[in-house]
Amino acid sequence: MISVILNVYKRPNMLERQIQAIRNQSIPIKSENIHVWYNKSDVPQYLPIDKKINTYACNWNTKFWGRFTIPLLLNTKYIAMFDDDIIPQIDWFKNCLDTIEKPETNGILGGSGVELVYKGYSPNNKYGWNGNHSNKTERVDLVGHATFYKQEWSKYIWYEKPYTIENGEDIMFSYLAQKYGGINTFVPPHPESNKNLWSCDPLIGNQVGSDNNASWRLANHLETRGEICVHCINNGWKTVNNIK
């Protein structure tokens, strides 16, 4: 039912921890449905211990984009994609299935979501494991960190050329899926009272996500994301707040 996509670049030490968290999910995942994309890196890379897991080695750094080619070839109904600093809690897949199977929240789901408040990226309203911990599903403009969606929607991210390969795959995916497929974006509940539903262990996520490999530390990161948002809005992205 679910195929899992992992991405390895500068944090190969996180791979087995992620795989274990996936195996611990209350919705079982077969090894054959786990796929690992390796971007070219200057640090040693290690294959999964479980040889039934699928691996893809790329000899150049495709940034955030290469992993999005894998779902095009898969046959499972759903895709679960994780950044390399995210450790899902035990009921994250259950949370996603409960959300996406409701007609009113049948859309791209994520563990960290952004609601834009003006024609740019920041400031913004954030929901999920590292934002507002809502007891209900929240409609947002874009999601990242842990993304869950129907395999049939995988094609939309390729409908237009990326604004830049350096950033913004999460923005482009939500924009293009809405523009060409009428698909909106949501963050499933992240209640304080039940962290088993969360997309990420907050202690690990905050620690690893703030290390020197974090993409948000790169120069012009927020500026570039703002440019991408403006580009998408100018080309037909209908945001939650109907920004023009």
Is the model's pLDDT at 182 over the cut of 70?
Answer: yes
Q: Is residue 174 part of a domain?
A: yes
208 or 35, higher pLDDT: 35
155: domain range?
A: 2-234
The structure's pTM equals 0.96
Q: Is residue 239 part of a domain?
A: no
Q: Is residue 244 part of a domain?
A: no
User: Residue 207's pLDDT is what?
Assistant: 78
Q: Is residue 78 part of a domain?
A: yes
Q: For position 97, which CATH number holds?
A: 3.90.550.10
Work out whether the CA dihedral 33, 37, 43, 46 comes out positive or negative: positive
Q: Is residue 240 part of a domain?
A: no
Q: What are the tens digits of pLDDT across the range 101-147? A: 999 999 999 999 999 999 999 999 999 999 999 999 999 999 999 99
**Which residue, among 15, 3, 12, 159, has the nearest Cα to 71 in the 3D structure?**
3
Q: Is residue 241 part of a domain?
A: no
* Mean pLDDT, the chain, integer: 94
| Structural domain count, the chain | 1
Specify whether the CB–CB gap between 87 and 148 falls below 8 A. no
Length of the chain: 244
Rg (alpha carbons) of the chain, rounded to whole number: 17
Q: How far apart are CA 125 and CA 179, in angstroms?
A: 22
Secondary structure class of 135 (helix, strand, coil)? coil
Q: Is residue 66 part of a domain?
A: yes
User: Residue 219's pLDDT is what?
Assistant: 67
Share of the chain above pLDDT 70, in %: 95
Q: Is residue 28 part of a domain?
A: yes
User: Residue 217's pLDDT is what?
Assistant: 53
Is the model's pLDDT at 209 over the cut of 80?
Answer: no
Phi/psi at 14 (nearest 5 deg)? Answer: -90, -15
Local confidence band at 206 (pLDDT 50, 70, 90 cut-offs): confident
